[in-house]
Amino acid sequence: MTPPMDEARLRALTPGVLGVLVRRGAEFAADEDAVQDALLEALRVWPADPPRDPQGWLVTVAWHRFLDATRADTARRRREDRVHETPAPGPVSAADDTLQLYFLCAHPSLTPSSAVALTLRAVGGLTTRQIAAAYLVPEATMAQRISRAKRTVSGVRLDRPGDVATVLRVLYLVFNEGYSGDVDLAAEAIRLTRQLAAAIDHPEVAGLLALILLHHARRAGRTAADGSLVPLAEQDRGRWDTGMIAEGVAVLQRALARDRLGEFQAQAAIAALHADAPSTEETDWVQIVEWYDELVRLTGSPVVRLNRAVAVGEADGPRAGLAALTALDDTLPRYTAAAAYLHERDGAPRTAARLYAEAARKATDLAERDYLTRQAARLNSR
């Protein structure tokens, strides 16, 4: 008998089940609700009675739930006439609909937050409650957000080529949402990006996978036991996940070998140089600056230029970093914190203390604010 399936494996079946219902001609919003009902039923039934064909079981249950909902909705009588009979039983199609669902959920008409929520629901298989907990918002609020997103994409055809860059942005947003709630969104982003990498051969997909693996590998060292932020220079590198770092580097090398450089590959190259260094002092800052130059060329992003200025300060000295910083808009996020760090390294503790305190007042993240406040207090105590 097939052993009971854990929740992660169950979620992995979601895109295929949803794709089958979509191909049968039903509306995306109704399909997605039916699939969620089937997943909840599986969690209830499977531990005691696991099916031989898990995906086929989910398709059957979801299709019946869709039919029940359709028949109960008198406003949809025309559709009921088309779907009143269940298709003949048989093996479920092996077609992989995951990629199309990614493109649908990353539709340009959706806001980034709605695209992330819909991706987690339709492709990730998370419940509304789980997504709401991860976002730290009421379940009713998240349900409304997901419903609006589903209505927006309900009439979109799935036979058009999608925008890979938009899909990757959504997955990167999922990764950056943090670790709140009972679902680890960083781990979920890795799972979904692996899924996408298996469905599409694209160097930037590999670049994103490498980037989030390399970032996630350092997760254990980023916070102290009391939850306070630990900057890169002070992290215990023995706590980093060397296996994940090796995997990320290998994925990145294969992507770079294709000579189609993109933003995520360049970011991953910088992360790899940090992961490879035994200490901050032994980091190859010159090469990191060169990769930031590539990122500036690719994106023109002011935030990238800010990070480059800090790297220049490490490679060529704090005054060179401050010179690069003065060319930027001082309203950029973390500009003041970067200036404080470079002034401290340049031997100006009073200026640095004032800037750390100012940066703390501007910080929106509590852990970051506490860290900057401690830095200001440390310098003032001298």
Span 240-266, average pLDDT: 96
Q: What is the pLDDT of residue 72?
A: 64
> The tokens of 294 are what?
């590539």
- Give the residue among 310, 238, 245 at the shortest CA–CA distance from 274: 245
Other beta carbons within 10 angstroms of residue 128's beta carbon come to: 20
Q: What pLDDT, on a 0 to 100 scale, did the predictor assign at position 20?
A: 77
Taking each helix axis from N to C end, the angle separating 112-122 and 185-199, rounded to the nearest 10 degrees, works out to 80
Query: How would you class 266 by CB atoms within 10 Å of its CB: exposed for 0-12, middle for 13-18, buried for 19 or more?
Result: buried
> What is the Cα–Cα distance from 368 to 362, expressed in whole angstroms?
10
Task: Give the dihedral sign, CA 285/291/294/296.
Answer: negative
Instruction: Summarize pLDDT for 98-118 with one digit per residue, the tens.
Output: 677 788 888 888 888 888 888
Between helix 164-176 and helix 203-217 the angle, nearest 10°, is 10
Residue with tokens 């002070």, as numbered in its chain: 234
Chain segment 69-84, per-residue pLDDT in tens: 776 654 444 444 444 4
Q: pLDDT tens across 173-196, in order?
A: 888 875 555 668 888 889 889 988
Is the confidence at residue 93, as pLDDT, over 50?
no
Between the alpha carbon of residue 125 and those of residues 120, 128, 225, the distances in Å are 6, 9, 32
Q: Which residue has the higher pLDDT, 7 or 79?
A: 7
Cα 325 to Cα 331: distance, rounded to the nearest angstrom: 12
